Amino acid sequence: RALPKPDVTGLWTVLRTVRRQGAPGAMARLDDHGAVHWAATGIADRRTGRTISNTDRFRIGSVTKIFSAVVLLQLADEKKLQLDAPVNRYLPGLLPDDRITVRHVLSHRSGLHDYTNEMFARTVPGFEAVRTKVFTYRQLVERSLSKPRTTRPGGAYSYSNTNFVVAGMLIEKLTGHAVRTEYKNRIIDPLELRDTFYLHPATKIPGRHARGYLTPDTAGAALVDSTEQTVSWAQSAGAVISSTRDLNTFLSALLGGRLTSRAQLDQMQRWVPSGTNQQYGLGLRRRHLSCGVSVYGHTGAVQGYYTYAFASKDGRRSLAALANTSNNGTVLNSMLGTLESAFCGKQAK
């Protein structure tokens, strides 16, 4: 069934709305069967006043989780990993329950507590306490294991960054290489993603980039420039840097079947309920839009940056959007409108 014609004017309207709601800048790129549409409004740098553009790189937060899932699904294709094997088979003694499988981890059904709940209970102090810190994967997992599990293994969906820290540990153990190397060799270089980097623990974003501005918990308090950070609290759960163009290239390649076998892509799309009008597969979200169209991708929230990166089922239409603020639920919710404009067109409610 053909998609409705995209509503590019509607894209601009959504971005102008999120600026009014507190984002210094916002941008979006829509790739539609070879045609490209852009929208960008506001500023990338509040000190210089430079305007934001789709050539700006930014931190993609949990859209990183798709990268980690793709590497593990490729390892499954290479028979180096079984999705239904216990994590402890590959990382002996890591987890307190041998019943937790790789699939449970990639679908947020492991029950592992999300250590960021405590870490970022107070937004700015929590961020300032970790922005230059370098954690080991094991330190992050230990933080999680100090709290009760949220469900039995294979139980209900319960989002947890810990799961994709474990995914990073699996990648490094099964390949003998750093996550950075595996992202580069398996995804970034083959797709020629020139704006995409995994530089942990370096704090700078290379080249032209949008600065990120964290909204404090206290209403009316000044935005905090959160651009430079190690993102060591997230790593394989959220530390990739990219651009709207590269994210569209990546999602189109994934959903077009160019990164894994059909069998693994099907495994990635075995859905469990994960909230209103959305499900979670393996490192991948599915959202049902108002016009009945479903889109596939991930959202991201890292200090100073909200990202939406979604595509149609066949990957031939993709939308990546960025607002350079975070801890602002109004902005995060409004950005959903970019998906409605891109995939439902003018009929979007």
Q: Does 299 bind ligand HEL (CB under 6 A)?
A: yes
Contacting residue, 21, 41, 54, 62, with ligand HEL by CB under 6 A: 62
Q: Among this protein's residues, is 62 annotated catalytic?
A: yes
Cβ count near 272 (within 10 Å): 12
The interface with ligand HEL within residues 230-259 (CB under 6 A) comprises 238
Q: Does 111 bind ligand HEL (CB under 6 A)?
A: no
Contacting residue, 159, 263, 272, 277, with ligand HEL by CB under 6 A: 159
d(CA 199, CA 240): 8
Helix (H/G/I), strand (E/B), else coil: 334: helix
Q: Rounded to the nearest 5°, which phi and psi values hold at 209?
A: -150, 160
Choose between 226 and 264: whose C-beta lies nearer to ligand HEL. 226
Choose between 299 and 338: whose C-beta lies nearer to ligand HEL. 299
CB of 66 to ligand HEL, least distance (A): 10
Q: Does 160 bind ligand HEL (CB under 6 A)?
A: no
End-to-end C-alpha distance for the chain, whole angstroms = 20
Total chain residues near ligand HEL (CB under 6 A): 17
d(CA 93, CA 86): 11
| Stretch touching ligand HEL by CB under 6 A, among 79-87, 119-127, 180-188, 239-247 | 119-127
Choose between 61 and 153: whose C-beta lies nearer to ligand HEL. 61
* Count, residues in the chain: 349
Choose between 90 and 127: whose C-beta lies nearer to ligand HEL. 127
Contacting residue, 120, 135, 197, 198, with ligand HEL by CB under 6 A: 120
CB of 305 to ligand HEL, least distance (A): 8
Choose between 32 and 57: whose C-beta lies nearer to ligand HEL. 57
- Tokens coding 250: 């990546």
Q: Does 300 bind ligand HEL (CB under 6 A)?
A: yes
d(CA 209, CA 102): 35
Q: Rounded to the nearest 5°, which phi and psi values hold at 63?
A: -65, -20
Write out the DSSP string of 130-166. Answer: HTT----HHHHHHHHHTS--SSSTT-S----HHHHHH
CA distances from 2 to 30, 272, 312 (A): 16, 26, 10
CB of 126 to ligand HEL, least distance (A): 6
Q: Give exposure, 11-46, as e/b (b: 16+ Cβ within 10 Å).
A: bbebbebbbebebbbbbbbbbbeeeebbbbbbbbbe
The interface with ligand HEL within residues 307-326 (CB under 6 A) comprises 326
Contacting residue, 4, 126, 201, 256, with ligand HEL by CB under 6 A: 126
| Stretch touching ligand HEL by CB under 6 A, among 12-20, 100-108, 255-263, 296-304 | 296-304
Contacting residue, 10, 24, 25, 61, with ligand HEL by CB under 6 A: 61
d(CA 77, CA 54): 34
d(CA 344, CA 176): 44
The interface with ligand HEL within residues 202-221 (CB under 6 A) comprises 214
Q: Does 24 bind ligand HEL (CB under 6 A)?
A: no
Q: Which residues bind ligand HEL (CB under 6 A)?
A: 61-62, 116, 120, 123, 126, 159, 161, 214, 238, 299-303, 326-327
Known catalytic residues are 62
